[in-house]
Amino acid sequence: MQTPFETAAALKKTLSYHGHRYHTLDEPEIPDAEYDRLFRELQALEARHPELITPDSPTQRVGAEPLAGFGEVPHEVPMLSLGNAFSEQEIHEFDRRVVLRTAVPPENPEAGSEPVALRGEKQDKIAGTVAYVAEPKIDGVAVSLRYENGILVRGATRGDGTRGEDITRNVRTIGAVPLRLFGEDIPAVLEVRGEVYMEIAAFEGLNAGQRERGEKAFANPRNAAAGSLRQLDPAITADRPLTMFCYGVGAVEGELPDRHDRVLERLSRWGLRVSPEIEVVHGASGCLDYYHRIMERRVPRTANIPDDDPPSNSGTRADREPASRQPGALGYEIDGVVYKVNSLSDQAKLGRVARAPRWAIAHKFPAEEAITQIFDIQVQVGRTGAITPVARLKPVRVGGVTVTNATLHNQDEVERKDVRIGDTVVVRRAGDVIPEVARVLPDHRLPDAAPFQIPTRCPECRSDVVRAQGESAARCSGGLFCPAQRKQAVRHFAGRRAMDIEGLGERLVEQLVDEGLVRSVADLYRLDAPTLAGLERMGELSAQNLLKALEKSKSTTLARFLFALGIREVGEATAGNLADHFGSLERLQSASEEELQQAPDVGPIVARRIVSFFSQPHNRDIVRALQNPQIGMHWVDTPPAVNAAEALKPLAGQTFVITGTLSVMTREAAKHHLKALGAKVSGSVSGKTTYLIAGNEPGSKFAKAEKLGIPIMTEAAFLEKLEDPRTTPKSTKEA
């Protein structure tokens, strides 16, 4: 007779096996009723013996109490975004770059000479034989699953790529996510990356239920998946028909194959769900062939048919065969395909740029379009005062969502496309991109359609609208006095990558500004509990939580503070560079435009914006107020980047720019060597540039350097300089 422990172990093993057959392989071996009987038997056994409950038990897929909020999870290996391609030419260019950067170097090339004829592996790659793994780009939510000794211990969203939200309890409810991996040779630590999504048939069923209950239907499967995955109550997630495909790995402690396709095979063998549409293809032609085959199987959409469209000769909506059930259709929404270099050693050699790998690219499908009519054109005022014309549209379905507004970008675009109120237009939407008016259909233009002009006064504060020379955007001159800019400035200031003030959402910001409680970001720190608790949808607990978040935000970093101020052109990376270079706000505020340009990647325009920002009295007042002891915002100052030790380095005071492809080392490695010798490495050529290093196929920086008379050195000359930094290398013209 089996002990309770042995019975529970056998039931867990059986249920896990049949769950894998059902959710992952779509090949069930037993009826649903038999699975339910076994599940109830395990539940009853665990109820009698709670000590038998383990994290990998099939009964633990549904959590207990809802969470108050999601914790933050750092990604040991960043979850990178992908670069996009929209044309076949871009795929040929991607393939060519991969070939050049992974080819075997020529033997004994002469210093400074052009590459000799390629041989061996490099010739094969030039011939178009680079192997890629191609797969559909599923329109879902990227997640990371961490397994330790084969057991699921954590799930996280992508977040900003370096940090995500802890959604462990929610991913545990997804049937396609194994709580314990099967098989042998499982790494001690395995982070699996994949896409959580909702199949179209399941999405249609979910929306039908929503409508029956009088609840709001979801706009599209991706929104439904994202909303379901981010529920604070995991029981709600468990009730939603989510599934998952795995497409790669992150941190790994153990051995894996040396090819991406074999890694995916290994994941499948361990019980993880991998897309059956994945193929190994060769060269750009193989990629494009796969692209066209998958596009034919993409679920067709009827984006330009309104929900109230009357019956036609083709029948009503209900009469038509659902797209997800048409022969050959994939059954889930995709917005393109992804190509990844198959060789992991080549992936490592290619590296990455910013937040995207060089070894992968997303080939997006053509933007989806629909025809509708503009009934008005209004303007919106952005955080920086930019005045954006927005077309108000007759509602139309585009890309799975109902679109009522579309951006017209700026006055130049309005005039270039000759967009007028009353026009019939084509509206385009690609992925999550804001819908835009693609073109006008002039044959449908009304006789009285009048051209549109940006107003001369801001619709929010009646300040003058101005347009600087050389800029396409017109802007409100009201600054922080403009309510529209004030709201956006406060939202930006409170954002996660800025001051990270949890609980200060869009609606609350609207209330605080509209009721005159916040006229600048400094006023946030003057709020009190009774005032906050008296606001709509706020109570004592919410008020106290917000005050705690405000207090916590006072201890920050200079980089976050600079980014939070919302200075035009100063993004997160630039703010970090400025903080590292100057070390203190006082030094930064007193710097001239020329001194600011000594910071990495700070050019004349950015320098001008910074000087202009700190020259405004009201901006200085706000900064002083935030640092005033009554508020007490603080951070740790650091020494400026250029200190006495740095000044002694052989390349101190010199600025280098790199363009083209280097054959001996990556550009990242070249930057590392230059910085170690005291040089600055900039992303753009200017009069401050000391040398331009030109690799193979240099871009526009080469022409600009020639025009400015900047010395240009070949890769061979650059290598000579690394060996003896105090030498003056020959330029390309002298070499």
pLDDT at 325 over 70: no
> How confident is the model at residue 69, as a pLDDT?
65
pLDDT, average across residues 310-324: 35
**CA distance to 246, 257, 604, per residue, from 98 (Å):** 24, 21, 34
- The residue with greater pLDDT, 479 or 656, is 656
pLDDT at 162 over 50: yes
* DSSP per residue, 395-435: EEEETTEEEEEEE--SHHHHHHHT-BTT-EEEEEE-TTSPP
> Which amino acid is it at 602?
V
pLDDT at 137 over 90: yes
- Mind telling me the catalytic residues? 137
Tell me if 263 sits within 8 A of 280, measured CB to CB: no
Q: pLDDT category, 23, cuts 50, 70, 90?
A: low
The helix or strand, by DSSP H or E, that contains position 693, with its residue range, turns out to be: strand 691-694
Q: pLDDT category, 317, cuts 50, 70, 90?
A: very low
Alpha helices in 154-277 (DSSP H): 168-171, 200-212, 221-229, 234-238, 260-269
The Cα–Cα gap between 331 and 200 comes to 6
pLDDT at 540 over 80: yes
The helix or strand, by DSSP H or E, that contains position 347, with its residue range, turns out to be: helix 344-350
> How confident is the model at residue 245, as a pLDDT?
96
> How confident is the model at residue 398, as a pLDDT?
82
The Cα–Cα gap between 221 and 650 comes to 58
The Cα–Cα gap between 94 and 627 comes to 49
Query: In the block, which residue shows the tokens 């992991």?
Result: 344
pLDDT at 316 over 50: no
pLDDT, average across residues 329-340: 91
pLDDT at 323 over 60: no
Q: pLDDT category, 142, cuts 50, 70, 90?
A: very high
Residue environment code for 125-152, b if the CB has 16+ CB neighbours within 10 A, otherwise e: bbebebbbbbbbbbbbbbbbbbbeebeb
Tell me if 722 sits within 8 A of 650, measured CB to CB: no
pLDDT at 301 over 70: no
> How confident is the model at residue 252, as a pLDDT?
95
420 pairs with which residues across the strands?
451
**Six-digit token pair at 369?**
């379009």
Residues 6+ apart with CB under 8 A from 124: none
pLDDT, average across residues 205-234: 85
Render pLDDT for 503-516 as a digit per residue (tens, 0 to 9): 998 889 989 988 98
> How confident is the model at residue 348, as a pLDDT?
92
Q: Which of 3, 4, 1, 13 is nearest to 52 (CA)?
A: 4
Render pLDDT for 428-460 as a digit per residue (tens, 0 to 9): 875 546 788 988 998 889 998 888 999 998 998
> How confident is the model at residue 731, as a pLDDT?
58
**CA distance to 106, 108, 191, 715, per residue, from 111 (Å):** 12, 9, 44, 8
pLDDT, average across residues 194-212: 91
Three-class SS of residue 718?
helix
Tell me if 728 sits within 8 A of 690, measured CB to CB: no
Highest mean pLDDT among 5-14, 357-366, 489-498, 548-557: 548-557
C-alpha atoms less than 13 angstroms from C-alpha of 408 in its C-beta half-sphere: 32
Tell me if 198 sits within 8 A of 225, measured CB to CB: yes
Using DSSP bridges, classify how beta strands 691-694 and 712-714 pair: parallel, antiparallel or unpaired.
parallel
| Portion of the chain with pLDDT greater than 90, in percent | 40
pLDDT, average across residues 98-127: 53
- The residue with greater pLDDT, 30 or 64, is 30
Q: Which of 413, 393, 412, 391 is nearest to 403 (CA)?
A: 393
The Cα–Cα gap between 626 and 525 comes to 8
Return mean pLDDT, the chain. Answer: 83
Domains belonging to the chain, first-starting first, are 4-61 (1.10.287.610), 368-444 (2.40.50.140), 479-553 (1.10.150.20), 558-627 (1.10.150.20), 647-723 (3.40.50.10190)
pLDDT at 111 over 60: no
Render pLDDT for 169-182 as a digit per residue (tens, 0 to 9): 999 999 999 999 98
Q: pLDDT category, 122, cuts 50, 70, 90?
A: very low
Residue environment code for 660-679, b if the CB has 16+ CB neighbours within 10 A, otherwise e: bebbebbbeebbebbbebbb
Render pLDDT for 621-642 as a digit per residue (tens, 0 to 9): 889 999 999 999 999 998 886 5
Render pLDDT for 464-485 as a digit per residue (tens, 0 to 9): 888 876 778 888 876 666 778 8
